[in-house]
Chain A
Amino acid sequence: MSENLVAFEHQLGKTSLSLPELLTQEAKEGIARQASFPTTRDEPWKYTRLARVAGLSVTPIAFNGAPTLLNGMETIDVIFEKGTWSCSTDVEGLTLQSANAISPEAWQACTTKGHVQHLNTLTAQGGVGITVAAGMSIQQPIRIIHRCSGERFALVLHHQIKVEDRAQVRIELIFEGEADQAYSNVLTDFFVGKEAQVHVDKWQNTQGNHYGFYNERIYQDRHSTFRMQTLTTNTHFTRNDVEVFSQGEAAHTQLYGAFFGRGQQLIDNHTYVHHMAPHGTSDENYKGVLWDKATGVFNGKVKVYQDAQKINAYQSNKNLLLSSAASMNAKPELEIYADDVKCSHGSTTGQLDAQALFYLQARGISKAKATEMLVGAFCAEVFEAVQSEYIQTAIAEQLTS
């Protein structure tokens, strides 16, 4: 077990990105200091075992060449498939490039924290850099599709999305394919300019024995809006870390999520919202539905800095357990250093309403169909926030299987 993190990093190879020296140094030291994967004694990994991940033997997939150009019509696509990547051509106000081409100075987020980000910093093999120019509103949604199938691969990518002042964009982050004994580590940085508006729908649906680690870091300037819906279905192991730095005054953040676990699947959602400036608002709403022996985690942390007065932070996490062997671990964390703020959180975990189920069945609806209707109703607030038709249709199909 000793030094298994160091060994794991070695098999992923060296990053093809040009990151600032300081950042890679920090990551190197971090890996050396930790040496081993965290265990359940480490607070951030309390409910999520990494022994299987540490034991993976994988080959990295590199996306070094120039992308195949696509002629997008209704959507602007960026597709990472095993071995190749393709990309729509630029439209007015939008620049797309390989993350490999981003200069060290342009990687603004000079931090790395925890083994997942350290590994990403040292070993990322590509990614996409997207810039939406100031004042521009991109009509078509941008879809970043990760479609990797196969066995024993490692997909380590670092995307950067810059939405300049007053710009507007809608993004879909899609993870699909069928994988075995594989590892993904995808880090996405969002820079949201003044009064900019960003809507992200994220769907994780990589099937098979796959271990997925997803980090989103969001840096919000004043009066900006960032909304993200995270939907997780059919995945063996998923860990999400969403960290928001609400740096500008009166920024609004919405983080919604719905996750569906079956079999022995594990879905771990960590969110961390830093309210660093006054008058900001954040709204978190996560719904979990677990069948069989599935495990869910929701750890939502909100930190309100001393100068961040008049903050309104709301967090809700509700879960449905549809089997007695399923388990849910919910942990809200509030750290408040300002004195004039409104922060509330609530979490419930329970079973389906037996009365409602009986009522539906008493009208001739099968138990399976009635359950599906009640699960749909339970997640309705999250589904309604999703704007991607592609994701909406796919999820509806999955829930009616």
Chain B
Amino acid sequence: MLEIKALHASINGNEILKGLNLTVKPGEVHAIMGPNGAGKSTLASVLAGKEDYEVTSGEIVFDGKDLLELSVEERAREGVFLAFQYPVEIPGVSNVNFLKTAMNEIREHRGLPALSAKEFLSLVKEKSALVELDATLASRAVNEGFSGGEKKRNEIFQMAMLEPKLAVLDETDSGLDIDALRIVAQGVNTLKTSDNATLVITHYQRLLDYIVPDYVHVLFDGKIVKTGGKELALELEEKGYDWIKS
């Protein structure tokens, strides 16, 4: 589904990713762990197509397509979903209007008819319950005045609505208390199928107690330096990242 080969990316002339390789197949959950500054969030941004980052070499193939050739919105329509580390507040744009527009643009891309108001609202009801998101939040402006936990749950709610093939969770656990963490993880687990895949980017092991990965990769200085099963996360938790560096 996703194949990243020898990816090099920089921001403002500083090279952050220095030859990253990663293969993700449908149905798999991959965790990317690593110390601050290793390039975790850069990887998430590059996958989503953020313009601030320049890909200097390497390739990303997603579902047979050259991802780097696609615009931000085309990637989303093809099924890439980034759950933001810092979801953006957009005053004046209602959550519902935003999501309806997004869903219909994605559906149009996939050759599906637009949802009726009724179909849309019943989906909102169903999916917001999944992450225990207060239904009244749906009618508020996007993320405006949301607590940290509500913002993260809103990200997973959007993911549930948009049904991506590849979900990239960028530090979704940061700023969450244990209850919110459990709710978010439960949401992600419920959405898992044999056709989609999840990339969990995290600094800490604790999220992986709830979202159990098939593979754990250690990202260090722009490259994946170690890959293992879920036990690798526990080892990192115990020993820290220093033993990787040596």
Contact = CB atoms under 8 A, between A and B. Distances in A.
18 contacts: A356-B90, A359-B87, A361-B49, A361-B72, A362-B49, A362-B75, A362-B84, A363-B76, A363-B102, A364-B76, A365-B101, A369-B101, A373-B101, A374-B90, A374-B92, A376-B92, A377-B91, A377-B92
B106 interface: yes
Interface in B19-59: 48-51
B112 interface: no
Given A364-B77, A366-B105, A374 B50 contact: no
Closest 8 CB pairs of A and B: A377-B92, A364-B76, A361-B72, A363-B102, A359-B88, A364-B106, A380-B92, A361-B73
A380 B94 CA distance: 11
Given A365-B102, A373-B93, A373-B101, 10 more contacts: A358-B72, A359-B88, A361-B71, A362-B72, A363-B102, A364-B77, A364-B162, A367-B73, A369-B105, A377-B141
A287 to B, nearest CB: 11
Nearest to B88: A359
A371 to B, nearest CB: 12
A345 to B, nearest CB: 21
A378 interface: yes
Contacts of A378: 92
Nearest to B105: A364
Contacts of A370: 73
A266 B99 CA distance: 35
B162 to A, nearest CB: 7
A380 B90 CA distance: 12
Contact of A365 (B49, B91, B105): B105
Contacts of A373: 93, 97-98, 101
Contacts of A364: 73, 76-77, 102-103, 105-106, 109, 162
B128 interface: no
A344 B106 CA distance: 45
Size range of the interface on A?
20 to 34
Contacts of B88: 353, 355-356, 358-359
Interface of A: 353, 355-356, 358-367, 369-370, 373-374, 376-378, 380
Contacts of B141: 377
Nearest to B75: A362
Question: Secondary structure at chain B's binding surface: helix, strand, loop or mixed?
Answer: helix
A376 B75 CA distance: 25
B158 interface: yes
Contacts of A367: 71-73
A377 B88 CA distance: 14
Contacts of B92: 374, 376-378, 380
Contacts of B77: 364
Interface residues of B, number: 31
A361 B90 contact: no
B82 interface: yes
B71 A360 contact: no
Contacts of B51: 358
A383 to B, nearest CB: 10
Nearest to A381: B92
A3 B211 CA distance: 81
Contacts of A362: 48-49, 72-73, 75-76, 82, 84
A360 B106 contact: no
A353 B98 CA distance: 16
Nearest to B102: A363
Given A362-B48, A365-B105, A366-B105, A377 B73 contact: no
Nearest to A366: B73
Contacts of B109: 364
Contact of B50 (A353, A358, A376, A380): A358
Contacts of B103: 364
Given A364-B73, A367-B73, A359 B84 contact: yes
B159 to A, nearest CB: 10
Contact of A363 (B49, B71, B91, B162): B162
Nearest to A377: B92
Nearest to B99: A363
Contacts of B73: 361-362, 364-367, 370
Nearest to A373: B93
A242 to B, nearest CB: 25
Nearest to A355: B88
A359 B91 CA distance: 13
Contacts of B142: 359
Contacts of B49: 361-362
A370 B93 CA distance: 10
A309 to B, nearest CB: 35
Nearest to A383: B92
Contacts of B87: 359
A367 B72 CA distance: 9
Given A358-B50, A369-B101, A373-B98, A363 B158 contact: yes
A377 B49 CA distance: 25
A356 B109 CA distance: 22
A360 B90 contact: yes
B90 A377 contact: yes
A358 B88 CA distance: 9
Nearest to A375: B92
Contacts of A377: 90-93, 141
A43 B158 CA distance: 52
A133 to B, nearest CB: 40
A359 B105 CA distance: 15
A361 B75 CA distance: 9
Interface centre among B71, B90, B91 (most CB of A within 10 A): B90
A365 B99 CA distance: 9
Contacts of A353: 88, 90
B125 to A, nearest CB: 20
A183 B158 CA distance: 52
Nearest to B158: A363
